[in-house]
């Protein structure tokens, strides 16, 4: 008995140590930064009516709140960005999924990609015409195959094999987008394509575990050549996620974003030049403007700092983190 009693103070000290350690860990974990930022495309947005702006704000805000709850409840950033982008794909308000614009042959061809910064897993699809939610299929590409990018008929065949929803192309029909295409065609002079700049949706998130994910989806350019693929499904150009650094989703003139690997470049400058997220992303977008490339991007870093630079008339965007309230803006 005496021997057991002599060990009690030591045991009490050990128990107190573990108790304090658990309390400290809980405090730290409870204060982990997390959040999400989304975009609905950059471009010529000055013709949006007040009513249209309010409708877009409502959709973006509702989507942000639901995606944020995923993170708040301990869900993954990958689930949050997939959810947000699929919500935009289901809406005719944006140039992605159901709202996709038309090619020069009056069909819709959609691209999407998604990436996890945890292990750099990534999946993408391009030039799909019958996939209800391209972003969901993009995720299945890296979860169920050894590949990263599937295109056209091959992507749709894969979707059928795993039971991913296939829809009749009439699902994507838009009289508004068809009229826009024909208007653009009437303004093609001397091979100079007047492009519809509104396009692409995306989401980037940081979860409580410190994992960063990014996702991007688009219908591409109005009047694009059939088979044209922009930056959206190209990992490093339209989408990039890198734990402990940042995640990025881009929107704009895809050919330039591919040439300069814009999404990855943002993170590279942070990692190797010790720039802040704001410095890196803003500098790149301004550099693009200097060479005639229009667009923007959204980004989040390991501390849930957010940056949303653009060099166009406007960019539909919104964000919410555990450090800041919901924010929405177009201009």
Q: What is the CATH number of the domain that holds 55?
A: 3.60.20.30
State the catalytic residue, choosing from 50, 63, 145, 200: 200
- Note whether residue 142 is domain-resident: yes
pLDDT value at position 43? 87
- Note whether residue 14 is domain-resident: no
pLDDT value at position 198? 53
> Is 200 labeled as catalytic in the residue annotation?
yes
How many domains does the structure of the chain reveal? 1
Q: Which of 277, 278, 308, 310 is nearest to 293 (CA)?
A: 310
Q: Which of 217, 193, 222 is nearest to 106 (CA)?
A: 222
- Look up residue 230 and give its DSSP letter: -
**Contact residues for 53 (Cβ-Cβ < 8 A; gap 6+):** 330
**What's the domain range around 276?**
33-329
- Note whether residue 212 is domain-resident: yes
User: Residue 117 is encoded by which pair of tokens?
Assistant: 């910064």
pLDDT by position in tens, the chain (length 331): 445 444 444 544 444 444 344 334 433 444 489 999 999 999 878 889 999 999 999 999 999 999 999 999 999 999 999 999 999 999 999 999 999 999 999 999 999 999 999 999 999 999 999 999 999 999 999 999 999 999 999 999 999 999 999 999 999 999 999 998 988 888 754 344 444 445 799 999 999 999 999 999 999 999 999 999 999 999 999 999 999 999 999 999 999 999 999 999 999 999 999 999 999 999 999 999 999 999 999 999 999 999 999 999 999 999 999 999 999 999 9
- Note whether residue 177 is domain-resident: yes
pLDDT value at position 188? 57
User: What is the distance between the alpha carbons of residues 289 and 271, in angstroms, rounded to a whole number?
Assistant: 23
pLDDT value at position 9? 46
- Note whether residue 65 is domain-resident: yes
- Note whether residue 309 is domain-resident: yes
- Note whether residue 278 is domain-resident: yes
Residue 134 near residue 164, CB atoms below 8 Å = no
pLDDT value at position 44? 79
């Amino acid at each position: 008995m005496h021997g057991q009693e002599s060990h009690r103070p030591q045991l009490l000290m050990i128990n107190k140590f573990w108790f304090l350690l658990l309390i400290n860990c809980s405090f730290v974990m409870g204060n982990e930064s997390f959040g999400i930022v989304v975009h609905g495309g950059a471009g010529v947005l000055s013709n949006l009516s007040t009513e249209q702006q309010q409708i877009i704000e409502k959709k973006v805000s509702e989507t942000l709140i639901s995606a944020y709850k995923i993170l708040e409840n301990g869900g993954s950033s990958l689930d949050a960005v997939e959810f947000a982008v699929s919500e935009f794909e289901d809406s005719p308000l944006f140039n992605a999924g159901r709202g996709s614009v038309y090619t020069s042959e009056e069909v819709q061809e959609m691209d999407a990609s998604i990436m996890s910064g945890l292990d750099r897993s990534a999946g993408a699809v391009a030039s799909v015409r019958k996939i209800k939610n391209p972003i969901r299929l993009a995720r299945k590409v890296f979860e169920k195959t050894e590949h990263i990018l599937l295109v056209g008929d091959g992507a749709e065949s894969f979707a059928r094999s795993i039971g991913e929803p296939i829809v009749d192309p009439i699902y994507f029909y838009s009289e508004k987008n068809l009229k826009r295409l024909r208007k653009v065609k009437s303004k093609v002079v001397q091979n100079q394509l007047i492009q519809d700049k509104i396009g692409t949706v995306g989401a980037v998130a940081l979860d409580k575990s410190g994992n960063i994910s990014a996702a991007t989806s688009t219908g591409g350019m109005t009047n694009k050549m059939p088979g044209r693929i922009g930056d959206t499904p190209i990992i490093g150009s339209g989408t990039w996620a890198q734990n402990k650094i940042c995640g990025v989703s881009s929107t704009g003139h895809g050919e330039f974003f591919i040439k300069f690997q814009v999404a990855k470049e943002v993170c590279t400058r942070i990692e190797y030049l010790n720039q802040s997220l704001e410095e890196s992303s803003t500098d790149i977008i301004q550099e693009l403007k200097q060479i005639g490339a229009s667009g923007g991007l959204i980004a989040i870093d390991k501390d849930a700092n957010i940056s949303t630079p653009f060099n166009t008339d406007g960019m539909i965007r919104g964000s919410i983190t555990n450090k800041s309230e919901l924010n929405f803006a177009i201009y």
